[in-house]
Every structure is written in structure tokens, then in C-alpha cells.
Structure 1
């Protein structure tokens, strides 16, 4: 049994969205990094809100599919900022690498086969 139930995973996801919006300006990241982080926050928010778990607003994406989408987003967290000019400095590189680490950690700690209502 892994520590992140679907409900706990939802809490982590919504908190991560908020941090992806708040952290870049607080850290003094470049405008491109801020925009890219906001883009990811918005996309994560949509996926989270549409996931079939206790914190989903419209439960249409099966919880295991949410996990696959989340895992697939990890490489995009480095590729897209690089393409959009968001990895210009050391702080930006560390920030997006930290997001990748956060996604992979949350993924590995989540019980993806759990009843989605837990």
C-alpha cells in the first residue's frame, strides 16, 4: 500500500497547481519561465478537475489514466520550457527539474489501483 490515496493525490495536485502559479514570481524566474509554469498549472488543473477521484469536479478521466498523463508530462516539464525559452538561467533549470522530481515522486507514491473514491 502506497501513502497517496486518490484523495491525497488530489490534494497534492491542487497544491502543486497553486505552487506552479505562485513560485515563479517569488523566485524571480524569467517571464518565459513564468508563462510556461502557468501553462503547466492550467493543464494540470484541467486534468485534476476532470479526474474520477474524490476531488474531481467532473469525474470523466479514470484515475489510472490520470497517472499515465501525469507520468507522460514529466519529460514535457523540461522540453517545453527549453523550446519556449524558459530555461535561460540556473534558477529556471533548477525550478523545472524540481517540478519533474515532484511529479515523479508523487507518481511513485500513489496507489493507482486504489478505489478512486478513497
Structure 2
């Protein structure tokens, strides 16, 4: 089965996810600890995204398949954060992020030409 998400589209999704991780905690009235965790995740995702070998990067240093492995490695962190959440909103937020990461990972063609 062909995977529909190209490196370029994945990069755009990454930047949108970073913006979401900055804006959503306040909009959803998450706990202060959940906000801090979300902002830290946004910063780390932004750092990796700006340095990944795809067309929307600032500097193309991280191979695209390595980016995928880094991204996938955040799922256990997101699940842990959901388990440590201080309420249903925190838990739901981090579970939703974990699902989003898994979905984006599953739909991305990690072997595609980075300029696709």
C-alpha cells in the first residue's frame, strides 16, 4: 500500500503540530505541568523539524527516516504524560497527541525521496 504523506507534507504537519502544542494547552485550560510539558515537546519537535532533510527544513541535517524514529520515540513519553495527567483534559490531550503521532507515522512514506 502506498503511503500518502510525502516528506514535504509531513514537514508541514510537523510545523502545524508544533503550533498546536503551543496554543492548545491554554485553550484547553490544561494544568501548569501539562502546559510546561507541551511547550517542551513543541520546542523539541520544532528543533528536529527545522533540522530534518525535507523541503521545509531550515537546515537539512537529520535524515528523514531518522526523523521518523525520533518522532516515534516520543509516543511512550506522551503515554507517560497522559498517565501522569492531573485530570481528564491533560490525559485526553496527551493521548490525542500520541494518536496523532502514530497516525502521521503510519501514513508517512519514510523511504520517499526527501524532496518529494
The equivalent residue for 2:20 is: 19
For this pair of structures, how many residues does the alignment match? 115
1:82 deviation in Å?
A: 6.1
Within 1, Cα distance between the matches of 2:92 and 2:42? Answer: 17
Unaligned runs of 5+ in 2: none
The equivalent residue for 1:76 is: 77
1:9 deviation in Å?
A: 0.1
SS at match of 1:115: coil
The equivalent residue for 2:110 is: 112
Compute the RMSD of aligned alpha carbons. 1.2
Q: What TM-score results when the alignment is normalised by the length of structure 1?
A: 0.94
The equivalent residue for 1:48 is: 49
SS at match of 2:57: coil
Question: After the TM superposition, which segments of 4 or more aligned residues of structure 1 sit over 3 Å from their partners?
Answer: none
Deviations 1:36-88 (A, max 9, x none): 00000000000000000001111000000000001111111122x369x6x11
Within 2, Cα distance between the matches of 1:61 and 1:3? Answer: 21
The equivalent residue for 2:99 is: 101
Unaligned runs of 5+ in 1: none
Q: What TM-score results when the alignment is normalised by the length of structure 2?
A: 0.95
